[in-house]
Amino acid sequence: MARDSAFESEYLIYEVKHTPEDFKYQFLMENISKNFTQFLFEQTTNAERKWLEDQTQSNALDLMTAFVAAPRFLSKKNVFYDSHFHGEFISHLPGFQVDGWNLVRLSRVWLLLHLNVEPKEQFIKNIETLFDTAELNELVALYSALPLLPYPWEWLARATDAVRSNMGFVFDAISLKNPYPELYFPEDAWNQLVLKTIFNGKPIHWIYGLDRRKNKDLSIAITDFISERFAAGRKVPAQVWRLLGSFTDETIYPKLVLLFASKEKEEREAAALVCFESKNSQLRSLLSKYPELELSIQNGDLDWSKLESIPE
């Protein structure tokens, strides 16, 4: 794999700047080859490993051909990586998860990392060609690889387009368990991703960076969503309430009163967490009427993670 001087050190460093109203990110990404390759080869047969190793000796066109042809040479078995036991898959890129992928998807991402990254224009052209000619499973692999590819801003238009996709697997690949949106999406695109995840009935706690990128506009949209649900007599998934964050005000008070009166434990807990995170004195006062829930939050026994297993 050809590398320029930025790739010759042990670490890759990206300094990422959002628009002024967004965050400024700087993160250190370890050279991923060792851990990725070790885990990949633990999943393969000897014949599959040899085929993969042979491809890394190829030119760009052959690597791209191998990316497409991978299902002919590799099994489609699922792979499992326990980050709680092994640690983050990419140590300096938390949120990048491969657990539940199949071997072909994992291998395709690995193959992409062996394309020459210089000259920049040719690398971008190669990736764009793969996007333009990809079928569904190839698109899933490409979107899964985005947080690992160099020149991350070059893929932003592709990534935001995927959020608008009607292909569920493509939407999931960019939106769930993928750190790229948190790192690079502007606020409006981020909010669209979160809202579509809710509308699609997906588990929003699989959106990486969900709590860190709460914002006022998203809170307003969520408040409107909650109001529509209440008006229609429909339940609001417990995890949706977490998006209100510190932006809540007294307009949500009547709905929280109803939530505290719910027979369902997770709804009462959600109401308590909303009040606890709010800066509004009226909502904090409402929480004081439920001392057991308030104490549970203060002691660290109750937080949003405790509600993540609730079906959405």
Confidence of residue 7 (pLDDT cuts 50, 70, 90): very low
Question: In the predicted model, is pLDDT for residue 310 greater than 50?
Answer: no
Q: Which of 4-8, 127-131, 158-162 is the least confident region?
A: 4-8
Asked if 267 and 256 touch (Cβ cutoff 8 Å), the reply is no
Confidence of residue 31 (pLDDT cuts 50, 70, 90): low
Tell me the pTM: 0.86
Rounded mean pLDDT, 89-100: 86
Q: What is the pLDDT of residues 51-83, one digit of tens each?
A: 999 999 989 999 999 999 999 999 999 999 887
Structure confidence at residue 83 (pLDDT): 76
**Could you tell me which of 23, 60, 61, 55 has the C-alpha nearest to residue 40?**
55
Question: In the predicted model, is pLDDT for residue 12 greater than 50?
Answer: no
Structure confidence at residue 245 (pLDDT): 87
Burial class (CB in 10 A: 0-12, 13-18, 19+), 146: buried
Cα–Cα separations (whole angstroms), residue 222 to 191, 261, 270? 10, 21, 14
Mean of per-residue pLDDT scores for the chain: 88
Q: Tell me 116's DSSP state.
A: -
Cα 118 from Cα 2, distance rounded (Å)? 7
Q: What is the pLDDT of residues 256-303, one digit of tens each?
A: 999 999 999 999 999 999 999 999 999 999 999 999 999 999 999 999
Confidence of residue 309 (pLDDT cuts 50, 70, 90): low
Phi, psi (degrees; rounded to nearest 5) at 217: -65, -40
Confidence of residue 5 (pLDDT cuts 50, 70, 90): very low
Q: What is the pLDDT of residues 113-145, one digit of tens each?
A: 999 988 999 999 999 999 999 999 999 999 999
